[in-house]
Structure 1
Amino acid sequence: MYDRNSPFTAKPSALEPRQKTEFAEDRLMQAILWCELTPGSTATEVELAERFGLGRAATRAALAKLSAFGLMHPIPRLGWRVLPMSGALIGQVISARRLVEPALGEAVLSQEALSAASSLAHMITIIGDRVEAGSLLTRRGYERDLMEILLAGVNPIISSFLSSLWAQSDRIIRFLELGGAAPYGAMDADALVEAYRAGDADAVCAARTREIEKFQSFVSLALLNDSSELTMDRGELKPGAPNQKQKQSAPSKEPIRVSSGGRLSNKGIES
């Protein structure tokens, strides 16, 4: 019987519709998380399909899935808007992580999983806080792989939620780094793996709490060091425009500017 998936087949078969949709979803997801699609920007279905070399049907299905995740929003007559970055979003991610990450203390890892996690932690420590593009990408890949191993040991529902929170955290980090923040430092992977090896749930929770606090400090420092000019919104006066109220406008395609002291927006800062 002919097996189209055989490694000896001369040419690989064309992707099935479901595979095309999964590929489109993954590609657009990565574009959002790595800020290839600027937070708050808009694009049509056709523009997205052409930009990333995707089929129209697959793009449409992928956008519907990403919309369900809250990462893309349909905007009448404008197309789709990428989830904007805001102080409220960052705060919600941090709060949710504080609530959910203690569940990692209950993860049960096999010896095989512990061994794999230990190897990844060793590689993360070797790379450390090197900021060369290749080193940074490699280290973060190892960190994601390590956390995926830990997720395999917890409740699948919690695992899915944590994976989403970490993805949002990665997006926030990337967004702030593109705005001029110093690269986010390496996680203390050795301490985390050692806590699992010792079966110490409290130490696991403490390690993750330190990581969340480091993330919060990174965000705060990035915002405080930003030199973007502050403006005001929601009917308040803007500098240089006395007695004139700021009008609401359609979502901008311009990159969002990071400003300290309020909610982030594509117009600056909202009080």
Structure 2
Amino acid sequence: MDTNANDARQPDNGAPLEVAETAIPYAVDATADTTPASPNYRALNLAKLQAQGMVTHDGGRTSVAEDFRIIKRPLLRNARATGPDAIRHGNLIVVTSAMPGEGKTYCAVNLAMSIAMEMDMTVLLVDADVARPSVLKVLGLPAEPGLMDVLLDERLAMSDVILKTNVATLSILPAGRSNKHATELLASRAMSRMLSEIASRYADRIVVFDSPPLLITSEAHALVGQMGQVVMVVEAETTTQHAVKEALRQIESCEHINLIYNKTKGFPGNEYYGYGYYD
């Protein structure tokens, strides 16, 4: 198992990270605040997200931004692979965890934001944690119709519920309304057809799914089995080795599994969190 690790430095009190003067190139709609592009347009408060330690276009070279540059690179390499190295649905990346509270949504949003910085990529961020959706909440947006609504209503198109943002290369598909048959819906032929369409319709699109935890819900298994790449978030010094092994056992049929070691402590006496990456 190859190992790549980069220790991030982020205050755990939510204070803004130190920002470099040079902004990272990023596709942002400069008129977003006053000229919505469509009824499905939503403006993200990028300054607020940056202050919360998230990756944003003008956040500079923060350690979190650098960590996700490292994390995304092998995922993008796999997604772009062709010929004998090509991965089926390689551009569909699901972010999950063994247990709740390990930071999977935070990592999914940051991963999507980081990929959106690529010069030749667009990103669709899907909230597939349909029992406890968190993506819109993290981004400061209200609940909206989404994935579950499309699966439940054949008259509803995915384009009807995808949200465009002031990050021109980033779109969002909310979880939508909750449903007691969510597992069956995620495992349905309608979902498979939707995933195939998402994966093949746009050659330059990466789709990042925020999935339910593996050891808590059955929805995660229905979803993970249809993805090309899996990213599992492990909370440092909290998630037990048994939980990690059990979660990995449940997705062992997936060929491309990556781990993010999240919330690692810094040097003794420092109140820092960080990330490690394992493939």
Quick check: TM above 0.5? Answer: no
TM-score (norm 2): 0.22
Structure possessing the higher radius of gyration over alpha carbons: 1
TM-score (norm 1): 0.23
Instruction: Identify, as 1 or 2, the structure richer in helix.
Output: 1
